[in-house]
Amino acid sequence: MSQIVGIDLGTTNSLIGVMDSGFPILLADSEGFRLTPSIVHFPVSGEPLVGRPAGRMKAISPERTVFSVKRLMGIRPGETGKDNFPFRVADAQGKTTIVIGDQTVTPEEVSTIILRKLKADAEKSLGSAIDRAVITVPAYFNDLQRQATKRAGEAAGFTVERIINEPTAAALAYGLDRLKDRAKIAVYDLGGGTFDISILELNEGVFRVLSTNGNTRLGGDDIDRDLVRLLEERITARYPEIRHELKDPLFSARLRELAHDAKLRLSDENGVQIEIPFLSGNRRFNYLLSRQELDAITRPIVRRTRSHCLRSMDDAKVAPRDLDEVILVGGVTRMPIVRQLVAEIFQRLPNTSQNPDEAVAVGATIQAGIISGEIQSVVLLDVTPLSLGVETFGGLMNVIIPRNTTIPCKAGEMFTNAVAYQRSMRIKVLQGERELAKDNWELGSFEIEFAPVPKGVARVGIQFEIDANGILHVLARDVSTGQQTLLDLASAVDVSDEAVEQMIAESVDHAFEDMSERVWTETSIKSNELLPAVKSALTLVGDQLTEADKQEIDGLVKAVNEALDSKDIQRLKSANAALDQGTQHLATLLIDRAMSEAERRRAG
C-alpha cells in the first residue's frame, strides 16, 4: 500500500509530512520551504498560482488573490461576520462563494487547489505517487466544516484516511518521545484564523482527549485587521485630505502586508518603523509602532480565549494545578503578550518546546503512521467538540450525544408517531450548546416513515454515529426486520433566493421606521442610566480618585444634563460618549473592588 501523508491545512500556511524510517519528517515545497502559504492567485488567464508565488501577487492583484479561505470553510452566507477580504465574497444559492472576475470558486475548491500543490510537490520530493492523507482541522470545527475539508481532500485526489483535530495532533508531536509518561496537558492553539484549547490525559501511549473548546473565527487575522485600522487612523490624522484613498484595494493590501510584518517583528523587537514613502503624491508616512501599541490591540482579542480555557477545564474537571504542562501551538503564541495571558489563565509558565508552526503537521504525520501501522504503541482517543441533538416540539434542542464524548461513538433514539395515522415526521439534526434549536447549527434533516397506526404505536429507532473523523452518520433501524439503512441528511441551506431577498427587504423596511424619534429615546435612556450609575460609583470608590479626576467627571455629568435639555441628538450622543470615556478609570476601580469582595467571600 502507498504511504500516507499528514497535512496541516492551515489558515495562513500549510505543511505536509511523511513517516521516514519511524520518524515524522516534513517535506519542502518546490520553492524550498516547509511552510507553504495558503494563498491562491487566479490570473486573468492560465493556471492558478499557489503558495509563495501567489503571495507575491497579494499586494499587486488583491482582488484575484485568495487567502485565509479556511475562515470561510463550511460557513453559510450571513455567518461571515466581520471579515473584510479584498476579494469578493458572495453567496450563490445559499452557498458562500468567492467571485474572481466573471468566475466563481467555493472555499472548498480553493482548499483543493492548495492540497493539489502540496501533493504534487511532495510526490516530486519523494519520487513516488501518494494518494492517502490525514488532514487536520480546528478541534472546534462542526460537522459541516469537517465534511467540507474532507471533500476538498478527495477532490485533490486523496483518500482521506482521517480528519484529525489540530491541538490533538500537536499533543501527539509533544508526547511521541514521552510514551512512558502519565500526565495531563493542555494544548493552547492560537493560529491565523482559529483558536482551540484541548485538555488531554497521556497514559502510557494512549492520548485521551478529556475536553476541547474554541472559536473557529478568532486568531491572528483579527489582530492584523485591528492593526490596519490603527494605521489608517494615524494616516488620516496626519493627512485628512487623502482619507478616501485609503479604501483603494491596492493600498489596503499593501497596508495589510506592512501591518502583518510589523506584528511578526514586534515579537522580538520593542518598536518597528513603518514607512510608506510614496503614500500619495509626495506625501510620505513614517510611524514608529511600539510593542505597547500592538499589545493594546492584541490584549482584548486574546482575552476572548480565556472563557474557552475555563470552560474546557470545567468540562475536563481539572483545575490549573492538576495540569502538568500547557503546550503552545500556532504562530500567534510567539507574541510575548499571548504567553503572558496564557500564564495568567493557567497560573504557570507555558511550555514552548514545540515549534508553533510545525507541531500540528508533525502530529498529523504521526497519526498517518498510526493508521499505516508504522507506529504501534500509540492510540489517540479524540472527542466530539459540540453536542449533537435533534429539535423537539417547542423548538428546543434535545441532546443525544453530549460534547466531549469520546469518538467513535453511537447513540440511539426512539421516535414515535405523535398523531394517529401519521405517515411521516421530519427531524432536524442540530449541533451546538444552546437551549433553543434555532441558536444551534442545523446540520440538515431527515424523514422518518411510520406505519399507519394509532398514536404512540409506531416506533422507529434512529442511530446517530460519530466516526473517528468527528463526522456524523444517521441510520434508521426497522424494528421488525432489524435492518439498518443510512439516511441522507437534506442540506439545510436550500433556501430560495426570493426568500432571502424578502427577509432582507423586510428588515430594511423596519430599520427606517421612526428613526430619529427612536434614536432620541434610546440615547436619553442611556443618559438616564449613566447618570445615577456615576453617582453610585462615586459613593463606592470616589475616595480613590484624585481631585482633578472628580472635577473632570463632574464637568462631564453637567454636559450630559445640559444636552438632555437641549433636545439635540448629536450633542447628547457625544456627551454620553465623553462621560463613558471619562469614567473608564472609575469602572476599573469598581471591578477591582467587586473582585476583591468576591475573593473575600470565597476565603470565607
Partner 1 sequence: MIDFFAVFGLEPRPVLDVGVLGDLFANKSKTSHPDRAADGDFATLNEAFNTLRDPASRILHLLALSGQEPPPKAASAGVSTWFGKMATGLQQFDRMFQPLTQETSSLLRAIKIREVQSTLADLEEISEGLTREKAGLLQAMGEIDARWPSDRPADRDSLAQIACDLRFLEKWLAQISERRLRLASVAP
Pick from 72, 67, 81: nearest CA to 38 = 67
Cβ neighbours for 442, distance < 8 A, ≥ 6 positions apart = 428, 429, 430, 492
Q: Does 561 interact with partner 1 (rule: CB under 8 A)?
A: no
Residue 530 interacting with partner 1 (CB under 8 A):
yes
| Rounded Cα distance, 9 and 145, in Å | 13
Does position 225 interact with partner 1 (CB under 8 A)? The reply is: no
Residues marked as catalytic: 8, 70, 166, 189
Nearer to partner 1, 110 or 380 (CB): 380
CA 198 and chain centroid, separation: 14
Residue 405 contacts partner 1 per CB under 8 A: yes
Inter-residue contact 96 to 77 (CB < 8 Å): yes
Pattern of binders to partner 1 over 475-514, x per CB under 8 A?
----------------------------------------
Q: Is 52 in the site for partner 1 (CB under 8 A)?
A: no
User: Where do the DSSP E strands lie in 423-561?
Assistant: 424-431, 441-449, 459-466, 472-477, 484-487
Output 88 or 303, the one with its CB closest to partner 1. Answer: 303
> Which one of residues 379, 451, 486, 504 is an interface residue with partner 1 (CB under 8 A)?
379
> Is residue 569 a contact residue for partner 1 (CB under 8 A)?
no
Kindly state whether residue 303 participates in binding partner 1, applying the rule CB under 8 A.
yes
**Of the candidate residues 155, 179, 230, 533, the single one contacting partner 1 (CB under 8 A):** 533
CB of 59 closer than 8 Å to CB of 41: no
Report the residue number, 131 or 201, with the smaller CB distance to partner 1. 201
Q: Indicate whether 436 belongs to the interface with partner 1 (CB under 8 A).
A: no
CA angle centred on 595, ends 593 and 598, rounded to 5°: 110
In whole angstroms, what is the distance from residue 308 CA to residue 401 CA?
A: 20
Contacts with 461 (C-beta within 8 Å, 6 or more apart), sequence order: 412, 413, 414, 415, 476, 477, 479
Is 306 among the residues that bind partner 1 (CB under 8 A)?
yes
At closest approach, how far in Å is the CB of 379 from partner 1?
A: 5
Our finding on whether 591 is near partner 1 (CB under 8 A) is: yes
Q: Decide if residue 410 touches partner 1 (CB under 8 A).
A: yes
Nearest-approach distance from CB 594 to partner 1, in angstroms: 4
- Which CB sits closer to partner 1, 155 or 381? 381
Q: Which stretch binds partner 1 (CB under 8 A): 215-223, 277-285, 322-330, 595-603?
A: 595-603
| Grid cell digits, residue 459 | 416506533
Q: Which 450-469 positions form the footprint of partner 1 (CB under 8 A)? A: 465, 468
Q: Is 203 in the site for partner 1 (CB under 8 A)?
A: yes
Residue 310 binds partner 1, judged by CB under 8 A: yes
| Contact (Cβ atoms closer than 8 angstroms) between residue 29 and residue 36 | yes
CB-nearer residue toward partner 1: 381 or 569: 381
Tell me the three state secondary structure of residue 359: helix
Cell of 377: 504503541
User: Which letter, b or e, does each residue of 79-110 get, where b requires 16 or more Cβ atoms within 10 Å of its Cβ?
Assistant: ebeeeebbbebeeeebbbbbebeeeebbbbbb
Find the shortest distance in angstroms from Cβ 330 to partner 1. 21
Near partner 1 by CB under 8 A, which window of 86-94, 104-112, 171-179, 585-593? 585-593
Residue 406 vs residues 118, 163, 189, 465, 590: alpha-carbon distances, Å: 31, 15, 20, 12, 43
The three cell numbers of residue 461 are 429507532
Give the list of residues 6+ apart from residue 503 with CB closer than 8 angstroms, or none: none
Q: Does 370 bind partner 1 (CB under 8 A)?
A: yes
Residue (of 292, 290, 298) closest to 342 by Cα position: 298
What is the DSSP track for 490-504?
BPTT---HHHHHHHH
Q: Is 99 in the site for partner 1 (CB under 8 A)?
A: no
* C-alpha to C-alpha distances, 556 to 104, 143, 406, 581, nearest whole angstrom: 53, 51, 56, 10
User: Judged by CB, which is closer to partner 1: 434, or 455?
Assistant: 434
Question: Is 322 a residue that touches partner 1 (CB under 8 A)?
Answer: no
Contacting residue, 155, 242, 399, 409, with partner 1 by CB under 8 A: 409
Q: Is 588 near partner 1 (CB under 8 A)?
A: yes
Q: Is 463 helix (H, G, I), strand (E, B) or coil?
A: strand
# residues contacting partner 1 (CB under 8 A) = 47
DSSP 264-311: HHTTT-SEEEEEEEEEETTEEEEEEEEHHHHHHHHHHHHHHHHHHHHH
294 lies in the binding site for partner 1 (CB under 8 A): no
Which of 537, 557, 560, 564 touches partner 1 by CB under 8 A? 537
Q: Which stretch binds partner 1 (CB under 8 A): 6-14, 196-204, 264-272, 472-480?
A: 196-204
> Closest CB to partner 1 among 16 and 172?
172
Rounded CA-CA distance 312/349 in Å is 19
Q: Coil, strand or helix: which one is 89?
A: strand
Minimum separation from the CB atom of position 58 to partner 1 (A):
35
Q: How far is the CB of 371 from partner 1 (least distance, A)?
A: 6
> What minimum distance in Å lies between the beta carbon of 468 and partner 1?
6
Of 52-60, 247-255, 281-289, 377-385, which segment contacts partner 1 by CB under 8 A?
377-385
Q: What would the grid cell of residue 409 be? A: 461513538
Binding site for partner 1 (CB under 8 A): 201, 203-206, 208, 303, 306-307, 310-311, 314, 370-371, 379-381, 405-406, 408-410, 465, 468, 526, 529-530, 533-534, 536-537, 576, 580, 583-584, 586-588, 590-591, 593-595, 597-598, 601-602
